[in-house]
A and B are shown apart, each in its own frame.
Chain A
Amino acid sequence: EPEVTQTPSHQVTQMGQEVILRCVPISNHLYFYWYRQILGQKVEFLVSFYNNEISEKSEIFDDQFSVERPDGSNFTLKIRSTKLEDSAMYFCASSDEGGKDTQYFGPGTRLTVL
């Protein structure tokens, strides 16, 4: 069964460093998303991406964040200068043409900022 994959599973970084979180969405999907979950809090939407551009972004997704689909399979989230409060589980998701009714999530990357 096709699935969303994410690497790395755990990333530890120093405050102020840049990190890139990688995702391989399901191959025939057209919509891509990043969400995050800070420990003990709700899953929060960060950004959605369709047709090589951002469809929507949340207030969390400020200038420190960027997304890219560098080739036909990968979807990346970059945080330019990490802060302590960026420590969270980051989930990538993808959906097909319909988009609204089914989003499939990856296993997540745990980001720890020291």
Chain B
Amino acid sequence: DQQVKQNSPSLSVQEGRISILNCDYTNSMFDYFLWYKKYPAEGPTFLISISSIKDKNEDGRFTVFLNKSAKHLSLHIVPSQPGDSAVYFCAASWGYGNKLVFGAGTILRVKS
């Protein structure tokens, strides 16, 4: 199932700088997109979501951008902090059952 793709397995960023995590999707029926953070041996923690009718949503240090024509979304974290080091998952949902389709994840390392 390749409907949601995160093509960068890992990203390394200096503390204080911007982290940009990318996600592509193929299913034009998706109507909500979500970002989750996950530490080892823990469940995914919800970060931020965006409806397909918007192109930007912001919450504190986290901003998600959606480009529907390109079927692409990105998560910006500014400024990055060492505690942000985790695996970041992009997910998308559609349909009555609200199931989430996840990407493979990107490992973010923020260096101090």
Which A residues have a C-beta under 8 Å from some C-beta of B?
A: 4, 6, 31, 33, 35, 42-45, 48, 55-56, 58, 91, 95, 99-108
Which B residues have a C-beta under 8 Å from some C-beta of A?
A: 1, 31-32, 34, 36, 41-46, 49, 51, 89, 91, 93, 95-105
The residue from B1, B32, B34, B98 contacting A48, defined by CB atoms under 8 A apart: B98
The residue from A45, A56, A58, A91 contacting B44, defined by CB atoms under 8 A apart: A91
Once the chains bind, are B100 and A103 in contact (CB under 8 Å)? yes
Chain A residues lying within 8 Å of B89, measured Cβ to Cβ, are: 43
Please give me the residue from chain A that is nearest to B43 by CB atom. Answer: A105
Chain A residues lying within 8 Å of B97, measured Cβ to Cβ, are: 48, 55-56
A55-B96, A58-B99 known; A103-B43 Cβ under 8 A? no
Once the chains are docked, how many angstroms separate the CA of A15 from the CA of B25? Answer: 37
